[in-house]
Amino acid sequence: MLRILIGLLPPTSGQIFKDGTDITAMPSPKRNMGIVFQNYALFQNMSVLGNVEYALKFNQEYKTRSREIAENVIGHVGLSEHINKKPHKLSGGQQQRVAIARTLALNPEIILFDEPMSALDADMRLSLREEIKNIQKKFNSTMIYITHDQEEAFALSDRIMVMNHGTIQQLDTPESIIAEPANDYVREFVLENLRRKIDSLVQYVKPDMPRNSIWASIWDKIKNVTPGAP
């Protein structure tokens, strides 16, 4: 779906509209979209600066300011101290931030993410998740983010589209999906899987936990969202 949206693959049927304009036949470079791939797709022989600056050098609008723009975006994603390092010297999370910076440098209206954190460990995923949300607010870009992780979807999204075998099951706010799942698939795939994750933690939470413990904090949050919790 992402490759069809950005113009790397043609749709077998239907049309693509962006701000009311049919872009189905529009060449990919003119769609003003960027994509962050799952495997980073970085040039291993280039530094962080070289990777971020590369596409800018071939863009008529940005090439005269390519170095300035690249350095500025690298600073925004917190990689200034690694600006001259090659990708193999960076952690997985840092490499993903380089890929995000490279996309942001061209100032796209829409950024597409293809499961960008699937190869990262749990701690790095949580950290990068917060950074992506902060980047979205800072650059005010629309982001379309593919993930199979329900928790990740709810943590990042203003709207969630639930799909099954290429068919949209529900497109709504996280709050509405929780309150009114459209069908049994949404209820099972989204809500039941979230419930299982929550239950795996809640079993350790008790109301008499020490007030300075993380579990007491979790218990307080549960009381606020769960009717009838003691």
Across all residues in the chain, what is the average pLDDT?
86
- pLDDT tens, residue by residue, 67-91: 999 999 999 888 999 999 999 999 8
**227 or 93: which leads in pLDDT:** 93
Percentage above 70 pLDDT, the chain = 87
> What b/e sequence results for 16-46 when a residue is b if at least 16 CB atoms lie within 10 Å of its CB, and e otherwise?
bebeeeebeeeeeeebebbbbbeebebeeee
- Is 44 a domain residue? yes
Q: How far apart are CA 8 and CA 28, in angstroms?
A: 7
pLDDT at position 211: 55
Position 140 pLDDT exceeds 50: yes
- pLDDT tens, residue by residue, 189-225: 988 888 887 777 667 666 665 555 555 565 565 555 5
- Is 201 a domain residue? no
> What CATH number did the domain enclosing 21 receive?
3.40.50.300
pTM of the full structure = 0.80
Question: What's the number of domains the chain is made of?
Answer: 1
- Is 76 a domain residue? yes
Structural domain harbouring 28:
2-180
- Is 191 a domain residue? no
pLDDT at position 229: 44
- Is 204 a domain residue? no
- Is 230 a domain residue? no
Mean pLDDT on 119-130: 78
- Is 200 a domain residue? no
**202 or 18: which leads in pLDDT:** 18
Mean pLDDT on 51-57: 93
List all residues 6 or more positions away from 180 whose beta carbon is below 8 Å from its beta carbon: 172
- Is 120 a domain residue? yes
Q: How far apart are CA 116 and CA 86, in angstroms?
A: 20
pLDDT-wise least confident of 130-134, 152-156, 195-199, 220-224: 220-224
Residue 229: count of CB within 10 angstroms of its CB = 12
